[in-house]
Amino acid sequence: MAVNDNRAEGLPCSTACHVRARIVTVEEENYRTRTFTTDLHWPHARPGQFAMVWLPGVNERPLSLLSHTPVRFTVAAVGPFTRALHHLQPGDALWVRGPYGRGFPITGRYMVMVAGGYGVAPLHFLAQEARQTGCHITVIVGARTRRDVLFVERFTALGVPLLITTDDGSYGRRGTVADALADVIRGSHPVDAVYACGPAPMLEAVNRLCKAARVPAYLSWEGIMRCGMGICGTCARGAWLVCRDGPVAYPEDDSSTSINAGGIASASHTSRLPR
């Protein structure tokens, strides 16, 4: 590629806010969910971190990373932005900035990962990284019903034990991921750490269980974001900045700033962004 600015000579150069990436492949995960592989490499990105993804003329939204080399995203088409993203084909462009936020730490010998709905992506990234450290992993994947269950093949391919739950019992065990987690925690193997990503009520249930059982929980929360880098305060839940302090809440977080300590309940001034 031709050198078209001053960068090579260490001189001042044009500075964009985003990096343009190209879609390399698009894979169907279920009836409304696709995985997009880009040509972008972020070897320093960690599981649990996110990118701000801009579709010019549409919107810019935070998306969890499924992997760093290459950068991949798994996205359910649930709103105008994600539906627009689903129109992208290999060769199309999207604009990305990041990675942002504090991801999951890899800690302990026996890790349990709990994913609700499309919370599977950052936990698959984590499982992939953690497996290389030789720790033991159990994954629990839950959804409302059979057709919403994601990543069964991807987790199976990693060779980690997988428990599936659905609210209506149409696939795997009937019940919630929290029910399955309670059994795993009560099981013969002492659990060193629990990692979870999914809807807020699920995270609250996981947190209650882990607190009662004195198992450290690392919970990845969602936020409505503008800057993604800790300056605007839009995503704040109480004193806790989802984008910068999180999105992963750690058990040892100071109680005054931690979402684990009930910051979510006081998030009374948050409002939705315009579409």
Partner 1 sequence: MNTPDLQVTFCGKLFRNPLVLASGILGTQPELLARVAVAGAGAVTTKSLSPHPRAGHPNPSVLKWGPGFINAVGLQNPGVEAGVRLLEETRRLLEAQAPEVHLIASIFAETVEGFARVAERLTAARPDFIEVNVSCPNVAHELGRPFAADPEDAAAVTRAVKNATDLPVIVKLSPNVTDIAVVAQAVEAAGADAIAAINTVAGMVIDVRARRPVLANEEGGLSGPAIKPIAVHAIYEIYRKVSVPILGIGGVTCGEDAIELMMAGATLVGVGSAAYWHGPEMMGILAGQMRAFLRAEGIARVCEVIGAAHRTEEAW
Residues that bind partner 1 (CB under 8 A): 14-18, 20, 52, 54, 56-57, 59-61, 93, 95, 97, 225-234, 236-241, 244, 256-257, 263, 266-275
Instruction: Report the distance separating Cα 135 and Cα 133, nearest Å.
Output: 6
Instruction: Report the distance separating Cα 248 and Cα 261, nearest Å.
Output: 14
Instruction: Report the distance separating Cα 188 and Cα 109, nearest Å.
Output: 14
Comparing CB distances to partner 1, the nearer of 143 and 249 is 249
Q: Are strands 193-197 and 110-116 parallel, antiparallel or unpaired?
A: parallel
Comparing CB distances to partner 1, the nearer of 152 and 267 is 267
Report in angstroms how near the CB of residue 59 gets to partner 1 at its nearest. Answer: 5
Comparing CB distances to partner 1, the nearer of 43 and 57 is 57
- DSSP letters, 226-249, are SSSSSSS-TT-BTTB-TTTT-BEE
Comparing CB distances to partner 1, the nearer of 13 and 157 is 13
> Where are any strands of DSSP class E within the chain?
19-30, 33-38, 50-55, 59-64, 67-68, 71-76, 93-100, 110-116, 136-143, 162-166, 173-174, 193-197, 217-220, 248-249
Q: Which of 150, 197, 154, 153 is nearest to 31 (CA)?
A: 150
Beta-bridged to residue 55, according to DSSP, are 59
Report in angstroms how near the CB of residue 230 gets to partner 1 at its nearest. Answer: 6
Report in angstroms how near the CB of residue 258 gets to partner 1 at its nearest. Answer: 11
Instruction: Report the distance separating Cα 64 and Cα 74, nearest Å.
Output: 8
Comparing CB distances to partner 1, the nearer of 86 and 226 is 226
Comparing CB distances to partner 1, the nearer of 129 and 253 is 253
Comparing CB distances to partner 1, the nearer of 8 and 17 is 17
Report in angstroms how near the CB of residue 256 gets to partner 1 at its nearest. Answer: 8
Report in angstroms how near the CB of residue 48 gets to partner 1 at its nearest. Answer: 18
Give the residue ranges of DSSP H helices in 20-107: 80-86
Residues 6+ apart with CB under 8 A from 226: 232, 234, 235, 273
Report in angstroms how near the CB of residue 58 gets to partner 1 at its nearest. Answer: 9
Report in angstroms how near the CB of residue 235 gets to partner 1 at its nearest. Answer: 9
How many C-beta atoms lie closer than 10 Å to residue 20's C-beta?
14
